[in-house]
Amino acid sequence: MMPEPILAANGKNSLSVTEGIIESVWAPGTFVDIDDARDAMRATALLARTGRMPMLSVMTDVEISAAARYEFAKSADVLAIAVLGSSAVDRVVAAATSRDTRYPHEFFTSRSQALAWLAGFLDQSAEPASEQQEASVTASGAR
């Protein structure tokens, strides 16, 4: 657990780790551009330096540019992401972000349900990234 959160995107984003899950909290009313996304991903990489980790992304009333959504989708440090929002608009933003991801991505309005879903990925976060990607390819081929 990190003693203090890491601030990214000029203070728009606060990241911390609790019980093996990265929590990324975006300030309500924020517009996220590609530079903000890249900075947040650098902070995520610092937190996940031992391997990919599940992430809770709190994005209530946040607007994300198309370029930033694409940048987030390329993240190699996220094992799975639960987006926590509170409105239909938040759900649409989360759906648009999930289009290009190569990791599981779900939208929630309940923090406890989001954390419960992410807890299912905690065992996988201990695996090296190459083994996780291989398992993901194998699993998707079996569907």
Instruction: Give the per-residue pLDDT at 35.
Output: 98
Apex 136 CA angle, 134 and 138, nearest 5: 70
Given pLDDT bands bounded at 50, 70 and 90, which one contains residue 126? low
> What SS3 state is found at 74?
coil
pLDDT tens digits along 71-124: 888 888 999 999 998 877 666 766 666 566 778 988 899 999 999 999 999 976
Instruction: Give the per-residue pLDDT at 68.
Output: 92
- pTM, two decimals, is 0.79
Euclidean distance between CA atoms 109 and 92, whole angstroms: 13
Euclidean distance between CA atoms 27 and 13, whole angstroms: 6
CA dihedral 17, 115, 77, 29 (to 10 degrees): -80
